[in-house]
Amino acid sequence: MSNPKTEAPAAPSSEFTHRQILTILGGLMMGMFLAALDQTIMATATRTIADDLHGFNLQAWATTAFLITSTISTPLYGKLSDIYGRRPFFLFAIGIFIVGSMLCGLSQNMYELAAFRAIQGIGAGGLMSLALVIIGDIVPPRERARYQGLFLAVFGTASVIGPILGGFFAGADTILWVDGWRWVFYLNVPIGIAAMAVVARVLHLPHHRTDHRIDWPGALSLIVGLVPLLTVAEQGRDWGWGSGRAIACFAVGVIGIVAFIFAERAYGDEALLPLRLFRNRTVAVGAASSSILGMAMFGGLMTVPLYLQIVKGSSATQAGLQMIPFVLGIMAGSITAGQLIARTGRYRIFPIIGSSLMLVALGLFALIGADTPLWQTMLIMVVMGLGLGGNMQPMITAVQNAVNPREIGVATSSVTFFRSMGGTLGTAIFLSVLFNVLPGKISNSFTAAAQTPDFQKALADHPDQAKILQQATSGGGSNDLSDTSWINKLTDVLAHPFKTGFSDGIQVVFLMALAIMVIGLIVVFFLPEIPLSQRSAQQQRADDILAAENSDGVPGEVGAGPGHDKIPAGKDT
């Protein structure tokens, strides 16, 4: 039973001034900067890291391991923070991220890097999702655009600085007697410690604990279901899709997913991902759209830095600078959508426009080749960024607005989970397809080039390079994918067939992403338009507690709907 004397003051504490919100946002932005910097700094450093660890064709392991753990941990953070409060789990996420970063810097091969990136992912799963949950706690949906620019400034700064730093570290042989690329991970340590100090000092939110069961069976079955399926998605091309190991992974994965569904049904409202939430059309559309968006975004854009470095010959630092148009597009799209939502109170149109722009961008990306001018590729990045910027935040706002304020954590983390899940699948599948088609594309390109006089003359003029080329492309053009640094030793004429084959392989990935994005555009048309609330989730929860105390003294029984001024969960139209 509650004690009215101790819980009555909750209502005043739920009202945050502009200055208090800015103070709390300071802590959130430190955590978001840490996560955003890690994502962007890796974009331009991955090739150097993979080459140095002799595992260019294994790089999907490092990316997939990070995405698996961040994906699985995301709903756990949302659920546990709903029960025990946001602050301790945000601090925990930063701490785990620091430990994982330190271990990544010590990696000696790609498999170790993948394992340590998995630890890093456990922390990353909480950094972004909890920041979005907390801003939903303290700022009403209609006013959220006022503060959206601050988050975008952090993300934009990290997105610009990250690739440049990644290129700088990757391009340095050693810094302080340590391999340059290892500082990509070591840099997270001081930033993370500073973030922990800031968060511990400023992030103080009122919390009313409600005891619940923790859905550990759901978490375990989710791991059992996802890990084998994602592993076979990445390794299927090497194992053979009909091999014993592949079939075993499929079987275990299906069993895990079925067990997860039964666990969620058994736990009801206390489930990791309550199935009841998905009867709410906004949540259902948000989850489906986010998973498709994640596949198109992560799966498609993972190849752009590779294209810039391998096909266009850009250094890691140059590739980072060349990605700036993409970042500027995201910021412009997000700011424009946020300001218009704040003024009009309408959000549905923005995911539709964003998905349409992404569809156009992916179609244009599928047309780029080895000889496409760089400025054209950068213009396509702007279009892609505008599409993403107009899609992500409005969808989160729509879902947070449509659910019970007591469930804003699990609802937000559910959408983030499906976006990460889509990104994980997209990365694993698309990179697997890319490295599956590359040997044939590269071999065909060399076969065609061998008939040209220019190529034959270049072979005769550079016998040393001819020997490098023969060794690298032996075995049907597949051996060249474990270390691509040999391309830089060739003249343009001899390297051009490889670049042509590589760009042809990338076109296949973008065509797949395009097909998936068509489905995504269809899905967002089903997103309903619900009037945006004028009160934050924290204010609504406080009102519910006061109402409960005034009626029967049992807080927690009131609030079955998402608030006094919103449609009950599961009944939006």
For residue range 116-150, list pLDDT tens digits in order: 999 998 998 888 778 877 887 777 776 665 665 56
Same domain flag for 253 and 287: no
Q: How confident is the model at residue 251 (pLDDT cuts 50, 70, 90)?
A: very high
Residue 561, pLDDT score:
41
- Please give the average per-residue pLDDT across 331-353, as a whole number: 85
Residue 562, pLDDT score:
42
Task: Please check whether residue 160 lies inside any domain of the structure.
Answer: yes
- Please give the average per-residue pLDDT across 235-258, as a whole number: 85
Same domain flag for 336 and 389: yes
Residue 392, pLDDT score:
78
**Amino acid at the residue 371:** D
Which 3 state secondary structure label does DSSP give 174? strand
Task: Please check whether residue 485 lies inside any domain of the structure.
Answer: no
Same domain flag for 189 and 63: yes
Burial class (CB within 10 angstroms; exposed 0-12, middle 13-18, buried 19+) of 247: middle
Measuring CA to CA, which residue among 161, 183, 171, 134 is closest to residue 23? 134
Q: Look at residue 256 and tell me whether its pLDDT is greater than 60.
A: yes
pLDDT in tens, 468-511: 777 666 654 444 455 566 677 777 787 788 888 888 888 898 99
Percentage of the chain lying above the pLDDT 90 cut? 15
- Please give the average per-residue pLDDT across 250-268, as a whole number: 91
More confident residue, 367 or 201: 367
What are the C-alpha distances in Å from 452 to residues 124, 219, 442, 492? Answer: 50, 58, 16, 14
User: Which residues, at least 6 apart from 160, have a Cβ–Cβ distance to it below 8 Å?
Assistant: 324, 327
> Residue 264: what are its φ and ψ, rounded to 5°?
-70, -35
Residue 481, pLDDT score:
57
More confident residue, 225 or 534: 225
Task: Please check whether residue 454 lies inside any domain of the structure.
Answer: no
Element (DSSP H or E) covering residue 179: strand 178-179
Separation of alpha carbons 173 and 163, rounded Å = 17
Q: Which of 255, 271, 287 is a domain's end point?
A: 271
pLDDT in tens, 12-36: 345 667 777 777 787 788 888 887 7
Separation of alpha carbons 211 and 304, rounded Å = 47
- Please give the average per-residue pLDDT across 279-299, as a whole number: 86
- Please give the average per-residue pLDDT across 187-203, as a whole number: 85
Separation of alpha carbons 572 and 562, rounded Å = 11
User: Which residues, at least 6 apart from 520, have a Cβ–Cβ distance to it below 8 Å?
Assistant: 289, 292, 293, 296, 355, 358
Q: Look at residue 184 and tell me whether its pLDDT is greater than 80.
A: yes
Same domain flag for 15 and 64: yes
Q: Look at residue 342 and tell me whether its pLDDT is greater than 70.
A: yes
Same domain flag for 111 and 189: yes
Task: Give the residue numbers spanning the domain of 92.
Answer: 4-215+272-440+504-524
Q: What's the chain's average pLDDT?
A: 78
Separation of alpha carbons 90 and 97, rounded Å = 11
Measuring CA to CA, which residue among 255, 273, 256 is closest to residue 264? 273
Task: Please check whether residue 529 lies inside any domain of the structure.
Answer: no
Residue 43, pLDDT score:
67
User: Which residues, at least 6 apart from 281, have a Cβ–Cβ distance to it below 8 Å?
Assistant: 526, 527, 528, 572, 573
Vertex 339, ends 333 and 341: CA angle to 5°? 95
Same domain flag for 339 and 386: yes
Residue 100, pLDDT score:
94
Residue 149, pLDDT score:
56
Task: Please check whether residue 141 lies inside any domain of the structure.
Answer: yes
pLDDT in tens, 42-93: 766 777 887 788 776 666 677 778 877 887 788 888 778 877 888 899 999 9
Give the range among 232-246, 343-357, 434-448, 463-477 with minimum mean pLDDT: 463-477
Give the range among 269-273, 290-294, 496-500 with minimum mean pLDDT: 269-273
Task: Please check whether residue 562 lies inside any domain of the structure.
Answer: no
Task: Please check whether residue 471 lies inside any domain of the structure.
Answer: no
Give the range among 110-114, 171-175, 189-193, 224-228 with minimum mean pLDDT: 171-175
Q: State the CB neighbour count (10 A cutoff) for residue 147.
A: 19
- Please give the average per-residue pLDDT across 294-316, as a whole number: 78
Same domain flag for 11 and 159: yes
pLDDT in tens, 80-130: 887 788 889 999 999 999 999 999 988 888 888 888 999 998 998 888 778
Same domain flag for 82 and 195: yes
Same domain flag for 168 and 290: yes
Give the range among 111-125, 238-252, 291-305 with minimum mean pLDDT: 291-305
Q: How confident is the model at residue 463 (pLDDT cuts 50, 70, 90)?
A: confident
Same domain flag for 330 and 231: no
> CB of 48 within 8 A of CB of 181?
yes
Residue 319, pLDDT score:
77
Same domain flag for 187 and 39: yes
Q: Helix crossing, 18-52 with 144-171: angle to 10°?
A: 30
Residue 142, pLDDT score:
66
> CB of 162 within 8 A of CB of 43?
yes
pTM, two decimals, is 0.74
Beta bridge partners of 179: 174
Same domain flag for 19 and 167: yes
Residue 6, pLDDT score:
38
DSSP state of 178: E
The domain that contains 116 carries what CATH number? Answer: 1.20.1250.20
What are the C-alpha distances in Å from 37 to residues 79, 286, 390? Answer: 26, 26, 21
Task: Please check whether residue 494 lies inside any domain of the structure.
Answer: no
Residue 477, pLDDT score:
43
Beta bridge partners of 178: 175
Separation of alpha carbons 94 and 388, rounded Å = 26
Give the range among 173-177, 262-266, 375-379 with minimum mean pLDDT: 173-177
Give the range among 223-232, 333-342, 480-489 with minimum mean pLDDT: 480-489
> CB of 426 within 8 A of CB of 299?
yes
Give the range among 314-323, 350-359, 379-388, 546-555 with minimum mean pLDDT: 546-555
Q: Look at residue 275 and tell me whether its pLDDT is greater than 50.
A: yes
Measuring CA to CA, which residue among 72, 23, 15, 6 is closest to residue 209? 6
Percentage of the chain lying above the pLDDT 70 cut? 79
Structurally, how many domains does the chain consist of? 2
